[in-house]
Structure 1
């Protein structure tokens, strides 16, 4: 499956990125991920294999990752937020659950 983008009201959920146009590497490092490039690659593989779904919860005008949500296939979504990003996580988790329920 290709990554699914979700509009969650005040937040925009998208696939993780680590390329020349958009890089979530600094934000993932803030979240304590020690190898963010490998994490992005694993997130892409999870979507392709339909085994794990991962979203960057972003501020829609800047695309900045404020929180991160993951869900193993068949499991509930979980996440973590950067400093100041807890509201984005709280608002987006139920939206992701509705998406997962529709699979």
Structure 2
């Protein structure tokens, strides 16, 4: 599956990026994720259907504020995420939106990590 964008009210969710237009790696490092392969690994996980991850973004600048992830396992899914300091409200809205997507579109029963 390709990354799916989700509207989360005041925030928008998209797949992680590290290309000529958008590079999420500096913001990921601010969140403690310094693995240079993190963005590519998340893309491979989307493609393989093993884990779906969204960058939680500020809509006017596209700045990454956190990351929400969903790991499917049969008819169940596990949901978790993190936010940069001061962005807990964005994480809460994003997590709720991903839960609705997982339950409604994917038919998963979701538990929090």
Pairwise CA RMSD: 0.9
- Provide Cα deviations, 1:30-55, integer angstroms capped at 9, x if missing partner: 111121x3110111011101110000
Give aligned pairs, total: 102
1:97 equivalenced with 2:96 (yes/no): no
Largest Rg, 1 or 2: 2
Query: Structure 1 length normalisation: TM-score?
Result: 0.94
Unaligned runs of 5+ in 1: none
Following superposition, which runs of at least 4 residues in structure 1 exceed 2 angstroms of deviation?
none
Structure 2 CA distance, aligned partners of 1:45 and 1:8? 24
Unaligned ranges ≥5, structure 2? 107-113
Shift of 1:92: 1.1
Say if 1:76 and 1:97, in contact at 8 Å, map to a contact too: no
Output the TM-score relative to the length of structure 2: 0.86
Bigger helix share: 1
Task: Decide which structure has greater strand share.
Answer: 2
